[in-house]
């Protein structure tokens, strides 16, 4: 049975640390596969689109993202290409509950990562998927979306459903 982790909140200093890379010797390990399942269950339980390991007090470079095709695991993700254009979009975060605001992000990104089975992958993402990847990688670098809010866009008076994103 999957473990549901508590989500740490924005005042926790762990969210401001740069996460450590996962060693290649651990790629495809049962430990990382189990963590992927636990993070996925936690993300679903908390109604999230994505979840980064630092949000559950794990200082490692790992994220999970809820896509329409099912959850994906990104270990040591690196954005290798960014579009020249950016766009504003509303964001929220499980670690900053009840707060939403406009953040400027690249419209499309290419991201290399290792999956839970230890396989190297490249995803070419645009729109919402690109936004989620950038948001989650920011977590790995100790950055929260509230650090990037457009002036005057912060709100805390609405609820949102977090649907799966298309790859």
The string of DSSP letters for 48-69 reads: -SEEEGGGGT--BSEEEEEETT
pLDDT given for residue 67 in this prediction? 93
Dihedral pair phi/psi, residue 104, rounded to 5°: -85, 125
Distance CA 72, CA 69 (A): 9
Distance CA 105, CA 15 (A): 20
With a cut of 50, say whether residue 69 has pLDDT above it: yes
3-state SS assignment for residue 154: coil
Distance CA 146, CA 48 (A): 17
pLDDT band at 157 (very low <50, low <70, confident <90, very high): low
For each of the domains in the chain, give its residue range(s) and CATH number, in order of start: 13-148 (3.90.45.10)
What is the pLDDT averaged over residues 10-26?
97
**Catalytic residues, which ones?**
136
Bridge-based pairing of strands 86-93 and 96-106 is antiparallel
* β-bridge partners, 114: 75, 120
pLDDT in tens, 72-105: 999 999 999 999 999 999 999 999 999 999 999 9
Report the candidate in 55, 133, 126, 116 with the shortest Cα–Cα distance to residue 84.
Answer: 126
pLDDT band at 165 (very low <50, low <70, confident <90, very high): low
pTM reported for the whole predicted model: 0.91
Q: HSE (CB half, 13 Å, CA atoms) of 90?
A: 12
Q: What is the distance of C-alpha 19 from the center of its chain?
A: 13
Are 49 and 11 in contact by the 8 Å Cβ rule? The answer is no
Mean pLDDT for all residues in the chain: 93
Q: HSE (CB half, 13 Å, CA atoms) of 46?
A: 28
Distance CA 163, CA 123 (A): 19
């Amino acid at each position: 049975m999957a473990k549901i982790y508590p989500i740490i909140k924005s005042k926790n200093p762990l969210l401001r640390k740069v996460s450590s890379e996962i060693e290649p010797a651990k790629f495809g390990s049962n430990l990382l596969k189990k963590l992927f399942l636990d993070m996925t269950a936690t993300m679903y339980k908390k109604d999230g689109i994505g979840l980064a390991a630092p949000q559950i007090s794990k200082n490692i470079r790992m994220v999970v993202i809820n896509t329409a095709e099912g959850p994906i695991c990104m270990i040591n993700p690196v954005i290798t290409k960014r579009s020249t254009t950016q766009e504003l979009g509303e964001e929220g975060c499980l670690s900053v509950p009840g707060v939403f605001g406009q953040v400027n992000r690249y419209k499309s990104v290419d991201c290399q990562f290792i999956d839970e089975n230890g396989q190297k992958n490249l995803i070419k993402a645009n729109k919402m998927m690109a936004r989620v990847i950038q948001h989650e990688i920011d977590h790995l670098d100790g950055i929260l979306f509230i650090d990037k809010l457009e002036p005057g866009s912060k709100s805390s008076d609405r609820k949102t459903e977090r649907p799966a994103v298309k790859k």
